Amino acid sequence: MRFLPRRLANHAETEHELISISKPKLLALIIILLSATVGWETYFVLAIPSSSDNSIIEPGSLHTIYDYIMYISSDNTTVIGKNGATGAQTCSSSVTRADIAIQCAVNTLEALPCCLGGHADLSTTQVPQASIYFSRGVYDIGASVAYTGPFPIQFFGEGRNRSLIYLLPNVNDDVFSINCAAQCNIISFDYLKIDSSPTQSGTSWCIDVGPNAVEVQLHFVELKACVTGGIRLQNTSTGWNDFDDVWFYSDGIGLQTSAPDVRIVNSHFASDTVGFRSINNATGMFTIVGNTFWLNTRAIDLRGTAGLITITGNTFAATTTAAIDLVVAPGLVTISGNTFSNSVISFEKQPVGCTVSGNVFRNWGSQTALKFFDSAGGQNECEVSGNDFANAVGIGVYIGNNDDNLSVQDNQFDGVTTPVSYGTGTRTKLMVSNNQGYNPIGLTANLLVGSTFAPWGTPGATLAVPFIVVYGDKINFGAFSVAPTVTVWFT
């Protein structure tokens, strides 16, 4: 029996509602309310309200700064090429043949209309570069990647220790072959390492650039174990070819150029058969500054007739044949401020004019540190001055037959067995003076300007060419059976 409060006794509806809720139902209702409360609280904590800012994807909004982006899938099975304009992944291949995906990207770019959407002034050949970017990884090349497009192109990576392109064994071809269909201003390789298996036959360059590319630039690139050579420039017209912080390592030839205008700075040539070689150059300039050449057979091999050659501030170490070898008579040559350790200079042909000054030569063994080979005579002036030669049993400076218009002055020879040596024959306008550690008396077959002189010739010989002698110096004629006739002119 239940007792109700008096104030509810006369309210049947209220009494009915209270009586109709049994304890089990009331308990269930409380549980439901609690569950709803807990569920709402849980939802409130876990859910993050969406931003009130709208996101809109418009045509072209996915465009990157590169025309194609190459990357390797996260499971390391597939090389993928993503179109930098649309974001579409249009090229792919197995990681064992990355060249297939790369060639697909190259072919796609070649088929596009001029300028890839960028403004161009075709009347002045100002055409923007196409570009392919390599994300980090190793890209195995089973066939040469060939570019024959109508506009210049750039290959760009994350760094030479992050983006590696590797030529597989027995491909027997180039890694990259660049043969533009028309003139291409600026072909670039940047922040990449291009390596080759040594098991190649025939011709195999890491980069072979055809005659229509007039400007080639490499920055922060390593070219390693390229069998024929690291890079070949076939263009013969003037163009600004620039190599900055490039490593040429264990290549046949590091860099070979037919182009007459090349600048090489802050680069490294190591264990190459030839570091830098020029061929077929009629005019132009080579600037080789601040580089390191180590363990090369020939470091710089000049076989062309370039107009102006500047070789300054480089280090040459342990060169087998010659650090600098002038095989063909070039134009004006300046060799200054370099260090040669167990490395020598060979002037097989005397240039139009040369200056060899301020260099340091050390430990060249029995070789000749600076050699002017025999010539036909009549060369323009060459000056050897202010150099430091030390610690060798060989020859410091060799002056060959008919090497005319040559002066060797103000050099220092310390611990050099033969500071200066001469070939037989005659020379015109030879001057050797003020060299510390070298006494020229009786050692030359031609006039030497200095403090004391030993003339040339045999008894009864006639000297048909007048020579300049500093006033007040002593001339020793030696022993003659008949007193010589000497005519003196004062100037």
In a domain, 100, yes or no: yes
In the prediction, which pLDDT does 50 show?
A: 57
* Residues 36-85 pLDDT 10s: 444 444 444 445 555 566 666 666 666 678 889 999 999 999 999 999 88
pLDDT over 70, % of the chain: 71
Per-residue pLDDT, 446:
45
Grade residue 400 by pLDDT with cuts at 50, 70 and 90. Answer: confident
Can you tell me the mean pLDDT for 406-426? Answer: 90
Q: What is the mean pLDDT of the chain?
A: 81
**Per-residue pLDDT tens for 164-175?**
999 999 999 999
| pLDDT range class, residue 133, cuts 50, 70, 90 | very high
DSSP 204-244: -EEEEE-TTB--EEEEEEEEES-SSEEEEE---S---EEEE
CA 57 to chain centre: 42
Q: What angle do CA 246, 252, 258 make, to 5 degrees?
A: 70
H or E segment to which residue 68 belongs: strand 68-72
Residues facing residue 399 across a β-bridge: 372, 422
Confidence of residue 447 (pLDDT cuts 50, 70, 90): very low
Question: Does residue 174 contact residue 207 with C-beta atoms inside 8 Å?
Answer: yes
d(CA 441, CA 406): 18
Catalogue the E-assigned strands of 258-380: 261-265, 268-270, 274-279, 285-289, 292-294, 298-303, 308-312, 315-317, 322-326, 332-336, 339-341, 345-347, 353-357, 360-362, 368-372
Give the whole-angstrom CA distance, residue 18 versus residue 59.
Answer: 67
Q: Once rounded to an integer, what is the mean pLDDT over residues 470-476?
A: 57
Q: Is the confidence at residue 324, as pLDDT, over 70?
A: yes
Does 247 reside within a domain? yes
Of 22-36, 103-117, 359-373, 476-490, the one with minimum mean pLDDT is 22-36
Q: Could you tell me if residue 174 is left (phi over 0), alpha (psi between -120 and 50 degrees) or otherwise beta?
A: beta
| Domain contains 490 | no
Residue with tokens 């210049």: 152
Q: What is the predicted pLDDT for the residue at 352?
A: 80
The lowest-confidence range among 254-258, 293-297, 479-483 is 479-483
The answer to the question of residue 436 being in a domain is no
pLDDT at 351: 82
| Distance from chain centroid for Cα 400 | 35
**DSSP class per residue in 438-463:** ---TT--SS---SSEE-----TT---
> How many domains does one find in the chain?
1
How much of the chain exceeds pLDDT 90, in percent?
Answer: 53
pLDDT of 1:
46
- Whole-angstrom Cα distance, residue 239 to residue 257? 11
E strand or H helix at 28, and its extent? Answer: helix 23-46
CB 119 within 8 A of CB 127: no
State the pLDDT at residue 453: 39
27 band by pLDDT with thresholds 50, 70 and 90: low
HSE value, Cβ hemisphere, 13 Å, CA-based, for 431: 19
Q: What is the mean pLDDT of residues 443-459?
A: 41
Asked if residue 192 belongs to a domain, the reply is yes
Give residue 381's pLDDT.
83
- Calculate the dihedral angle through the C-alpha atoms of 90, 95, 100, 101, rounding to the nearest 10 degrees: 20
The DSSP 8-state label assigned to residue 436 in this structure reads B
Nearest Cα residue to 293 out of 263, 256, 266: 266
More confident position, 364 or 484: 364
Whether 12 is in a domain gets the answer no
Which residues, at least 6 apart from 20, have a Cβ–Cβ distance to it below 8 Å? none
Choose the weakest-confidence range: 182-186, 227-231, 308-312, 465-469.
465-469
* Nearest of 233, 149, 147, 219 to residue 183 by alpha carbon: 149
- Given this model, what pLDDT does residue 344 score? 97
> pLDDT at residue 160 above 60?
yes
Q: Is residue 387 part of a domain?
A: no
pLDDT score recorded for residue 488: 61
Q: What is the pLDDT of residue 350?
A: 78
Q: Determine, yes or no, domain membership for 172.
A: yes
8 A C-beta contact, residue 131 and residue 90: no
454 burial class (0-12, 13-18, 19+ CB within 10 angstroms)? middle
In Å, how far are 90, 242, 263, 382 from 289, measured between CA atoms?
44, 12, 8, 21
pLDDT digits 0-9 by tens, 241-276? 999 999 999 999 999 999 888 999 999 999 999 999
Domain with 188 in it: 79-115+128-259
450 pLDDT exceeds 60? no
